[in-house]
Copies of this chain bind each other. A is one copy, B any other.
Amino acid sequence: MSESTGGETLLFLTDEQLRQGIEAMFFAYRGFTADPDRILATMAYGRAHHRAIHFIARAPGTTVNNLLEILGVTKQSLNRVLRTLVEDGLVESKVGTTDRRERNLFLTEDGMALERRLSDAQRARMRAAYRQAGPEAVAGFRTVLEAMMDPEMRRKYNALREGGA
């Protein structure tokens, strides 16, 4: 693994630079989740509920299986979260129209209200960071993040962009 390609354009690939990038991801992710977490802590919900709510809002009518793949958890784990959300009247689970084995998931009015509250908080931080960093930095930010994803996740990510456009 000895990196002796050492051109000047590759100077930013020293282990020290990479390590700083790793730490930046760690600390930034903490900030990224901090605001929604604070809101969720006041109710009986956690980060798992937020993720489910986010992606149902993003792709209304999505199936359980699709959500499973996006979130990368087991159906048992997701089911526990989904059940409480349905019970609490934030999510509605409708039998599929074409395939009645499937369940199409939607947010109720209350669900949308919570989603808005959570994502407003998260977007506010994002907006501040974007504004501070400037458009070019934001483009670079997105480029690097996409390159870091697993190929499968990049596909899911792009599918959301196309569907949500």
Contacts and interface: CB of A to CB of B under 8 A. Distances in A.
A137 B143 CA distance: 7
B153 A31 contact: yes
Please give the count of copies of this chain that the complex contains: 2
Nearest to A156: B27
Contact of A123 (B15, B24, B51, B147): B15
Contacts of A28: 25, 144-146, 148-149
Contacts of A124: 1
Contacts of A17: 130
Interface string A24-60: 1111111110100000000000000001001000100
B153 A30 contact: yes
Main secondary structure of the interface of A (DSSP, over half): helix
Contacts of A25: 28-29, 32, 145
A157 B27 contact: yes
Interface residues of A, number: 67
B24 A142 contact: yes
Contact of A154 (B27, B138, B140): B27
A126 interface: yes
Interface of A: 1, 9-10, 12-13, 15-32, 34, 51, 54, 58, 72, 119-120, 122-150, 153-154, 156-157, 160-161, 164-165
17 contacts: A1-B124, A12-B135, A17-B130, A18-B130, A19-B119, A24-B149, A27-B153, A27-B157, A28-B148, A28-B149, A31-B148, A31-B150, A129-B148, A133-B140, A137-B144, A139-B140, A141-B143
